[in-house]
């Protein structure tokens, strides 16, 4: 058994790290509720087609990164992201009749990538989706919700909001033609994957991780030169809304989304504190997603954020409540201690009850657990129906009647 290790790219989340993860999720959950988002959860695995339809047969995620398997004739995939799962739930659940829909999610995702700091093969995300709202107000609200979450976590000031527009359908058709014309002039320098995508999915070349592709893409045409007036007005409204809310942003014309169903707003909150993994939250508008999955044409916008990356950025994480230690003195106190511990827990106190050892050993254990106070119960105290309460910070102690114990311990909550 000693040779068994976690699978590469995964790790055990032990209590100290779990406390940071839980803090991210709980703060996000409380914050997005202020904006009207309701929590939901989709299955951790879906039919493989859910992701093939949305991410495409030629995308890196589908061809290289998905964990897929076959069971009982069904082809299944551990979810690499959650937007497709939410869209599938909306379609299969007949939920579009209740639009607009506003959902929050939290949970594990799976991608076979080279493990890096803040980037594991099993990782966790929080995210929101607004489905059924075509107006730019939804884009502004989505970004504002994300900024509020980052601010509540104490990391917003250490991030930069980058924003761009991908235009509407007409804009993208014009841009696609200009992009293909440019890339064909540099086709010899493209990777094999990108040459294959040039005719079918040229926009995905913009997302290529190949260094040679990146150098070519760096000089590719920009979306701005292909935007329709309607697309410009949409983006201007989004920018004006962010300015009105006091949300600072920078324009990054190279910020793109290579999948066809993305349109209009694309954005990322980035940081310089995590090395190569600069994005901590990313999102955008995906008006073509649900239609591509077989549903009716339905607008949508949202974002996702990596819990591991956010946890690394946290500076102040609330400590768990310091417990009260119950220390029985002698055999007479053992049974009473057990009953008393349960009574105090029911009253809302965090209580640690030592399992073995003499008084000195149990008090040392209480200090190791960072207990705030100790309640000593021995034969002498029991005769007086009392207990001795010791302040483990100051060392002061006093005998307290058992019926007054809860009130006496209230100061140590």
CB atoms within 10 A of CB 151: 15
* Structure-block tokens of residue 322: 């310091």
How far from the centroid of its chain's Cα atoms is residue 71's Cα? 29
Beta bridge partners of 220: none
Residue 380 CB contacts under 8 Å (≥ 6 apart), including other chains: none
Domain stop point among 281, 313, 345: 313
| pLDDT (tens digit per residue) in 31-87 | 999 999 999 999 999 999 999 887 766 566 666 789 999 999 999 999 999 999 999
Q: What is the CATH number of the domain that holds 348?
A: 3.40.50.800
Q: What is the pLDDT of residue 50?
A: 92
pLDDT in tens, the chain (413 residues): 457 899 999 999 999 999 999 999 999 999 999 999 999 999 999 999 999 887 766 566 666 789 999 999 999 999 999 999 999 999 999 999 999 999 999 999 999 988 877 779 999 999 999 999 999 999 999 999 999 999 999 999 999 999 999 999 899 889 989 999 999 999 889 998 889 888 878 888 887 888 998 899 889 998 898 999 999 999 999 999 999 999 999 999 888 887 778 899 999 999 998 877 689 999 999 999 999 999 999 999 999 999 999 999 999 898 888 999 998 887 777 888 889 999 999 999 999 987 787 888 888 888 898 999 999 998 888 889 999 999 999 999 999 999 999 999 998 87
Q: What is the CATH number of the domain that holds 262?
A: 3.30.930.10
Q: 131 lies in a domain? A: yes
Residues 284 and 328 both lie in one domain: no
* Structure-block tokens of residue 135: 């107006």
Residues 147 and 293 both lie in one domain: yes
Q: 350 lies in a domain? A: yes
The tokens 């001795």 sit on which residue? 388
Residues 52 and 143 both lie in one domain: yes
Residues 352 and 309 both lie in one domain: no
Q: What is the pLDDT of residue 75?
A: 94
Domain with 81, as residue range(s), is 15-168+228-313
Q: What is the pLDDT of residue 1?
A: 47
Beta bridge partners of 178: none
* Strand runs labelled E in 55-212: 67-71, 74-78, 101-110, 122-131, 160-165
Q: 276 lies in a domain? A: yes
C-alpha span between 98 and 85 (Å, rounded): 18
Quote the DSSP letter at residue 321: P
Residues 287 and 382 both lie in one domain: no
Q: What is the pLDDT of residue 57?
A: 60
* Structure-block tokens of residue 91: 């379609």
Residues 261 and 397 both lie in one domain: no
Domain stop point among 259, 294, 313: 313
Q: What is the pLDDT of residue 193?
A: 84
Q: What is the pLDDT of residue 58?
A: 53
Residues 343 and 277 both lie in one domain: no
* Structure-block tokens of residue 3: 């040779």
Residue 125 CB contacts under 8 Å (≥ 6 apart), including other chains: 81, 82, 105, 106, 107, 109, 304, 305, 306, 307
Residues 263 and 297 both lie in one domain: yes
Q: 269: helix, coil or strand?
A: strand
Residues 247 and 393 both lie in one domain: no
Residues 143 and 272 both lie in one domain: yes
Q: Give kind and range of the element (H or E) at residue 237.
A: helix 229-244
Residues 363 and 385 both lie in one domain: yes
Q: 4 lies in a domain? A: no
Q: What is the pLDDT of residue 354?
A: 78
C-alpha span between 3 and 211 (Å, rounded): 38
Q: What is the pLDDT of residue 196?
A: 85
pTM metric for this prediction: 0.89
- Count of residues making up the chain: 413
Whether 248 and 186 have beta carbons less than 8 Å apart is answered as: no
> To the nearest whole percent, how much of the chain has pLDDT over 70?
97
C-alpha span between 290 and 326 (Å, rounded): 57
Query: Sheet of 324-328: strands edge to edge?
Result: 351-353, 324-328, 373-377, 386-391, 397-401
The tokens 């309701």 sit on which residue? 38
Quote the DSSP letter at residue 330: S
Domain stop point among 313, 336, 365: 313
Residues 286 and 337 both lie in one domain: no
How many independent structural domains does the chain possess? 2
């Amino acid at each position: 058994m000693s040779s068994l290790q976690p699978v590469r790219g995964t790790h055990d989340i032990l209590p100290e790290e779990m406390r940071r993860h839980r803090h991210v999720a709980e703060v996000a959950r409380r914050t997005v509720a202020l904006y009207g988002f309701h929590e939901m959860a989709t299955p951790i695995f879906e039919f493989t087609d859910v992701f093939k339809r949305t991410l495409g047969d030629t995308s890196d995620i589908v061809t290289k990164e998905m964990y897929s398997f076959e069971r009982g004739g069904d082809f299944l995939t551990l979810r690499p992201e959650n937007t497709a799962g939410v869209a599938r739930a909306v379609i299969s659940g007949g939920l579009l009749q209740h639009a607009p829909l506003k959902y929050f999610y939290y949970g594990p995702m799976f991608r076979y990538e080279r493990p890096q700091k803040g980037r594991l093969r099993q990782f966790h995300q929080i995210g929101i989706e607004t489905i059924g709202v075509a107006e730019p107000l939804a884009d502004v609200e989505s970004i504002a919700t994300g900024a509020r979450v980052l601010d509540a976590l104490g990391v917003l000031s250490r991030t930069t909001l980058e924003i761009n527009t991908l235009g509407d359908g007409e804009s993208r058709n014009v841009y696609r033609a200009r992009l293909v014309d440019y890339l064909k002039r540099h086709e010899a320098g493209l990777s094999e994957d990108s040459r294959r995508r040039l005719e079918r999915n040229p926009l995905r070349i913009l997302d290529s991780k190949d260094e040679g592709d990146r150098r070519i893409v760096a000089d590719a045409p920009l979306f701005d030169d292909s935007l329709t007036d309607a697309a410009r007005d949409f983006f201007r409204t989004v920018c004006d809304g962010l300015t009105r809310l006091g949300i600072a942003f920078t324009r990054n014309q190279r910020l793109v989304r290579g999948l066809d169903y993305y349109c209009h707003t694309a954005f990322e909150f980035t940081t310089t504190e995590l090395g190569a993994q600069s994005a901590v939250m990313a999102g955008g508008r995906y008006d073509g997603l649900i239609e591509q999955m077989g549903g009716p044409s339905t607008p949508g916008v949202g974002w996702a954020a990596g819990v591991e990356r956010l946890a690394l950025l946290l500076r102040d994480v609330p400590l768990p409540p310091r417990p009260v230690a119950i220390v029985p003195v002698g055999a007479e106190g053992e049974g009473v201690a057990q009953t008393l511990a349960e009574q105090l827990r029911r009253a809302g106190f965090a209580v640690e009850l030592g399992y073995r050892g003499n008084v000195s050993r149990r008090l040392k254990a209480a200090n190791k657990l960072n207990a705030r106070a100790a309640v000593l119960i021995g034969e002498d105290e029991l005769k007086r129906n009392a207990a001795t309460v010791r302040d483990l910070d100051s060392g002061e102690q006093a005998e307290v009647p058992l019926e007054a114990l809860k009130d006496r311990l209230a100061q140590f909550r």
